[in-house]
Amino acid sequence: MRILSTALVVVITLSGAAMVQANDISKADDIIVAQTQSGFQRWVKSFRAVALKNGVTARTYDRAFRGVKLNARVVKLDRKQAEFSREIWDYLDTATSPKRVKNGKAMLVKYKKTLARIEQKYGVDREVVLAVWGLESSYGKNMGDINIIEALATLAYDGRREKFGRQQLLEALRIIQRGDITPDRMMGSWAGAMGHTQFIPTSYQAFAQDFDGDGKRNVWDPRDPSDALASTANYFKKSGWTKNQPWGVEVKLPKDFYYGNASLKVKATPARWNELGLRLIRGGKIPNHGKGSVFLPAGSDGPAFIVFKNFQVIKRYNNANSYAMAVGHLADRIKGGGYFAQEWPRGPGALKLDEKLEVQKLLNRAGYDLGEPDGIIGPKTIDAVTAIQVSWGQQPSGKADQEFLKVLRKKAY
């Protein structure tokens, strides 16, 4: 139902007040997109004057907009995004999956010299730079395949993100004008994030670096991520990163802990936290990494952390606690660290990460080709779960839970 109502919102926003039957949504989308193409082209013409007033030349503008159309995919993805929410542990299982850790370690070796130079120049730990790269584009594999001018012009025209779209579009045009990239190679996500570490144009203008010295700040080059990685390090440096300091440490809370103190707004020295009875999860006093806050991402039942200034620095890149944790933890894992010691409150029947991996391994062995187990229970795994349940003569639930794993183990594939 939620998808349906979202689709109706699209229709109403784009056409004004069209009446549409629910089962005609996709057809109606097509018609409306066709109707709005001409409106979009008129908008492109009128925005030209705005761009020219803001220092973009006519030549740059016309070059950048050659062949650009209203992008229906951008509109759809923009509507969809708000509905996306996941539990923190599911997000972290995906974000810091064993495969991403393994690939990160491989990149640490492959780009050893470049990373060492970047670390030295910007004072940002190489594992953190790698973690951002891993999260943003899976180390350059998913940089986005949407024309950035088209994406931003669509967002600016469509209305929901008009201000963002207009501002980013002007910066994108200036990037083209400077000669950093040609319009046809300026690709990225539907939301305007570009290259290996997914910079939006304003961040690019503020922080991008020409690290290899060829005169272009090329954060898109599939063969050479050095400009992009240096740009990310520069972003962290300018945001106040302190080298050799952790984002946070996992801690054990004392029995009499006052949960009112578990807030990012409450900051105290490690000495004070030690005094209150907090300890490192594997024992020992909390070392002095400066003032920190107690952070309980899943409430009192899950792992507990003390997070330091670097945690806030990561949030300058993407303002979400879950993202900051993912970057910090992935960096720790690439460095050779382990998983958290405390368990997440996953709920009855839910699988832990190693159990999800076991399910995928066993399904592979049973002949369902899932590729290398990654612990992400996505559509492919769910399809396999359903199919094998049918083959067992069960009413399929498609659910990879403890009950399912128990049967799967018993069948001993």
The distance of closest approach from Cβ of residue 212 to Ca ion in the complex, given in angstroms and rounded to an integer, is 4
The distance of closest approach from Cβ of residue 227 to Ca ion in the complex, given in angstroms and rounded to an integer, is 4
The distance of closest approach from Cβ of residue 219 to Ca ion in the complex, given in angstroms and rounded to an integer, is 9
Cβ distance to Ca ion smaller for residue 176 or 191: 176
Among candidates 333, 401, 357, which has minimal Cα distance to 101? 333
Which residue of the chain is nearest Ca ion when measured via CB?
A: 210
- Asked if residue 110 lies in contact with residue 99, where contact means CB atoms within 8 angstroms, the answer is no
Site for Ca ion in 211-270 (CB under 5 A): 212, 214, 216, 218, 227
Q: Which DSSP letter does residue 401 get?
A: S
Q: Count CB neighbours of 281 within 10 A.
A: 16
Cβ distance to Ca ion smaller for residue 210 or 383: 210
Cβ distance to Ca ion smaller for residue 125 or 227: 227
| φ/ψ (deg, to 5) at 181 | -155, 150
Which H/E stretch holds residue 294? strand 293-295
210 binds Ca ion (CB under 5 A): yes
Q: Count CB neighbours of 94 within 10 A.
A: 18
Residue 252 in 3-state DSSP? strand
Q: Which residue has the tokens 């659910």?
A: 399
Cβ distance to Ca ion smaller for residue 78 or 180: 180
Interface mask toward Ca ion for 175-194; x: CB under 5 A: --------------------
Maximum C-alpha span of the chain: 71
The residues assigned a catalytic role are 136
Site for Ca ion in 26-55 (CB under 5 A): none
Output the CA angle 380-385-391, nearest 5 degrees. Answer: 125
**Number of residues engaging Ca ion in binding (CB under 5 A):** 6
Return the range that interacts with Ca ion (CB under 5 A); candidates 44-52, 78-86, 207-215, 240-248: 207-215
The distance of closest approach from Cβ of residue 220 to Ca ion in the complex, given in angstroms and rounded to an integer, is 11
What is the contact surface with Ca ion in residues (CB under 5 A)?
A: 210, 212, 214, 216, 218, 227
